[in-house]
Amino acid sequence: MLIIDQNFTMLEEINTFLKDNITLTIIVATISATIAFFVYQISRKKFRFEKAEFENKKPNFVLYLENCYKLQDSKIDDKLLLFDIRITNLSTTKNSVIPKLRIVYFVNNDKSEIVIDHNPKLFTNVSHTNLTQFSKEIRLEDREIKSGWVIFKFPQNLIDKRIDFYQLSIEDGSGNHSEIVCNLLKQIIYEVPKQQ
Amino acid sequence: MKFRNNSNPVYFIQENGLISSTQWADGRLIPVVVLNSKNGIELKDFLSAHVSSIDQGDVITQWGYPFSQFFKPKVWILSIQFKKPRTFSFYIEFVLDKNPALIDAIFQSRGLYIRYGFPGEKISKGMDQDMVLIEIPDLKRDEEWNNTLRDILRSRFKKQNIDKKKLKDEVEKQIKKMREILHHRIS
> What pLDDT, on the 0 to 100 scale, is given for residue A4?
59
User: Would B144 be classed as within a structural domain?
Assistant: yes
> What pLDDT, on the 0 to 100 scale, is given for residue B94?
93
Q: pLDDT, tens digit, for every residue of A46-66?
A: 999 999 888 888 888 999 988
Q: pLDDT, tens digit, for every residue of A62-72?
A: 999 888 888 88
Same domain, A28 and A114: no
Total structural domains in chain B?
1
Which domain does B99 fall in, by range?
A: 2-182
Same domain, A145 and A113: yes
> What pLDDT, on the 0 to 100 scale, is given for residue B1?
61
How far does the CA of residue B31 sit from the closest CA of chain A (Å)? 13
**Helix B142-159 and helix B164-182: axis angle, to 10°?**
130
Distance, in Å, from the CA atom of B143 to the CA atom of B130, rounded to the nearest integer, reads: 33
- DSSP lists the bridge partners of residue B32 as B17, B113
Q: Which residues of chain B have pLDDT under 70?
A: 1-6, 187
Same domain, A52 and A68: no
Same domain, A113 and A81: yes
Same domain, A42 and A80: no
User: Would A195 be classed as within a structural domain?
Assistant: no
Of A182-186, A188-192, B43-47, which gets the smallest average pLDDT?
Answer: A188-192
> What pLDDT, on the 0 to 100 scale, is given for residue B95?
92
A180 touches chain B (CB under 8 A): no
| Mean pLDDT, rounded, for A16-39 | 86
Q: What is the largest CA-CA distance in chain A?
A: 122
Distance, in Å, from the CA atom of A68 to the CA atom of A82, rounded to the nearest integer, reads: 6
Same domain, A154 and A186: yes
Total structural domains in chain A?
2
Which domain does A29 fall in, by range?
A: 2-57
For chain A, percent of residues with pLDDT exceeding 70: 93
> What pLDDT, on the 0 to 100 scale, is given for residue B161?
82
Using the beta-carbon criterion (under 8 Å), do A183 and B24 form an inter-chain contact?
Answer: no
> A156, A187, A188, A189: best mutation site toward chain B, by most B Cβ within 10 Å?
A187
Q: pLDDT, tens digit, for every residue of B63-102?
A: 988 888 778 888 999 999 998 888 889 999 999 988 899 9
Amino acid of residue B172: E
Same domain, A29 and A107: no
Distance, in Å, from the CA atom of A72 to the CA atom of B119, rounded to the nearest integer, reads: 39
More confident residue, A183 or A76: A183
Using the beta-carbon criterion (under 8 Å), do A187 and B183 form an inter-chain contact?
Answer: no
How far does the CA of residue B28 sit from the closest CA of chain A (Å)? 9
User: Would B80 be classed as within a structural domain?
Assistant: yes
Same domain, A49 and A65: no
Q: pLDDT tier at A28 (50, 70, 90 boundaries)?
A: confident
Same domain, A51 and A79: no
Using the beta-carbon criterion (under 8 Å), do A165 and B135 form an inter-chain contact?
Answer: no
Candidates A188, A184, A164, A165; CA nearest to B135 is A184
Spatial neighbors of A89 by CB under 8 A, at least 6 apart, are A60, A61, A95, A140, A141, A142, A143, A144, A145, A146
Same domain, A93 and A162: yes
> B26, B55, B106, B132: best mutation site toward chain A, by most A Cβ within 10 Å?
B26
> What pLDDT, on the 0 to 100 scale, is given for residue A62?
92
User: What ipTM does the predicted assembly reach?
Assistant: 0.78
User: Would B187 be classed as within a structural domain?
Assistant: no
Q: Is 0.90 surpassed by the pTM of this model? A: no
> What pLDDT, on the 0 to 100 scale, is given for residue B149?
92
At residue B7, φ and ψ (nearest 5 deg) are -75, -10
Distance, in Å, from the CA atom of B3 to the CA atom of A79, rounded to the nearest integer, reads: 43
> What pLDDT, on the 0 to 100 scale, is given for residue B127?
79
| Mean pLDDT, rounded, for A25-46 | 93
| Mean pLDDT, rounded, for A121-130 | 80
> What pLDDT, on the 0 to 100 scale, is given for residue A7?
65
How far does the CA of residue B111 sit from the closest CA of chain A (Å)? 7
How far does the CA of residue A57 sit from the closest CA of chain B (Å)? 29
> What pLDDT, on the 0 to 100 scale, is given for residue B66?
85
Q: pLDDT, tens digit, for every residue of A107-120?
A: 887 889 999 999 98
| Closest A-chain CA to B26 | A185
> What pLDDT, on the 0 to 100 scale, is given for residue A115?
94
Q: pLDDT tier at A6 (50, 70, 90 boundaries)?
A: low
H helices of chain A, in order, are: 2-20, 22-57
User: Would B165 be classed as within a structural domain?
Assistant: yes
Whether omega before B137 lies within 30 degrees of 0, making that bond cis, reads no
- State which of A42, A57, A72 marks the end of a domain: A57
Distance, in Å, from the CA atom of B122 to the CA atom of B124, rounded to the nearest integer, reads: 6
Q: Residue A122 sits in a domain of what CATH number?
A: 2.60.40.10
Distance, in Å, from the CA atom of A154 to the CA atom of A138, rounded to the nearest integer, reads: 21
Same domain, A135 and A120: yes
- State which of A57, A72, A95 marks the end of a domain: A57
Using the beta-carbon criterion (under 8 Å), do B137 and A183 form an inter-chain contact?
Answer: yes
More confident residue, B70 or A39: A39
DSSP state at residue A156: G
Q: pLDDT, tens digit, for every residue of A73-109?
A: 777 778 889 999 999 999 999 999 999 999 999 888 7
For chain B, percent of residues with pLDDT exceeding 90: 32
Query: Which chain B residues are within 8 Å of A185, Cβ to Cβ?
Result: 24-26
Query: Which chain A residues are within 8 Å of B25, Cβ to Cβ?
Result: 183-185
- DSSP lists the bridge partners of residue A64 as A86
Same domain, A51 and A118: no
User: Would B15 be classed as within a structural domain?
Assistant: yes
Using the beta-carbon criterion (under 8 Å), do A184 and B22 form an inter-chain contact?
Answer: no
> What pLDDT, on the 0 to 100 scale, is given for residue B19?
87
Query: Which chain A residues are within 8 Å of B133, Cβ to Cβ?
Result: 184
Asked if the model's pLDDT at residue A146 lies above 90, the reply is yes
For chain A, percent of residues with pLDDT exceeding 90: 42
Distance, in Å, from the CA atom of B104 to the CA atom of B109, rounded to the nearest integer, reads: 9
Locate the DSSP E strands across chain A.
Answer: 61-73, 79-89, 95-107, 110-117, 138-140, 145-153, 162-172, 177-182, 186-190
